[in-house]
Amino acid sequence: MKNVVLLHGLANNEAIWGSLSGRWQPGLRIHAPRLPWHGGGIADWRHEADSAARLQDVLDAVPGGPDLVVAHSFSSVVLLELLCRRAAAADPLNVPAVVLVNPFYQSDADSFHWDMIAPTLDDFPRTMAESIRLRTPGHRIEAERLADMARRMTEWIGPYGWLRFFDTYLRTPLFRVDLVDTPALVIGGAADRSAPAEQARHLASRLPAGRSVTVPGCGHFPMLERPAWFTGTVHRFLEQAPDRARPLAGA
């Protein structure tokens, strides 16, 4: 039995993976923990200065340890930071493989400029609206009501939550991705306006054991838009991943 851990993004929760239920192959134990930055928990996390350490605690709590970690959006960047931190300390994270879904990544600090702050901030409500719409496929939500729901979600995130995200994004050029030899599949959506697919491809090209796949016509939530494709892709990648190192008896 292999453990697959699914990590939701900022202001979402474990329900974001619900469309994948029943599509997983036998022999997989699926863990979808609620993370400190879930939609209802921003108040408890918004002053947190080290999200990677919080994620380490989450992974340590998985019985038997993860065999594959799949992280979406903000969580993919936090996982990347944790991988780089452990690799730089010569203590690699004991996870055989990772899938980074729609990551935010830049390798050059000069890629960030003043004029990108306002558009990135303004894009948050649209991304929240996309999440709400895709999670309620059988219900047509009027545009005005959908916008109001998205606005309320951004109010829950608040300035501290957004700054935690943006600060992590700004630090990605400092991540020592060249030290991470963990096999990594980086997924980007061709129609993703929040985290453009070229960022996923660029990150994969810089990871020693990275490879990328771009989902045609897909936005920021491929697990909701293409659930059959998503689980099939994860299954194939997991089949190629090495086995996790087990602790020696008595160690």
Interatomic CA distance for residues 76 and 85, integer angstroms: 14
Interatomic CA distance for residues 75 and 91, integer angstroms: 21
pLDDT the model gives residue 138 = 60
Could you read off the pLDDT tens digit of each residue along the chain, which spans 251 residues?
A: 899 999 999 988 999 999 999 999 999 999 999 999 987 767 778 888 899 999 999 999 999 999 999 999 999 999 999 999 999 999 999 999 999 999 999 999 999 999 989 888 888 888 888 888 887 766 677 888 888 888 888 888 888 888 999 999 999 999 999 999 999 999 999 999 999 999 999 999 999 999 999 999 999 999 999 999 999 999 999 999 888 766 544 44
pLDDT the model gives residue 179 = 98
Neighbours of 179 (CB within 10 A): 17
Which residues lie across from 29 on neighbouring strands? 3
Interatomic CA distance for residues 45 and 223, integer angstroms: 25
What is the CA angle 136-192-18, rounded to 5?
35
pLDDT the model gives residue 14 = 94
Could you tell me the domains of the chain?
Answer: 2-240 (3.40.50.1820)
Interatomic CA distance for residues 202 and 208, integer angstroms: 12
Tell me the CB-side half-sphere exposure of residue 45, using CA atoms within 13 A.
25
- Residues in Cβ contact with 113 at an 8 Å cutoff, skipping those fewer than 6 apart: none
Interatomic CA distance for residues 189 and 221, integer angstroms: 8
Q: Is the dihedral of CA 191, 196, 199, 200 positive or negative?
A: negative
pLDDT the model gives residue 3 = 96
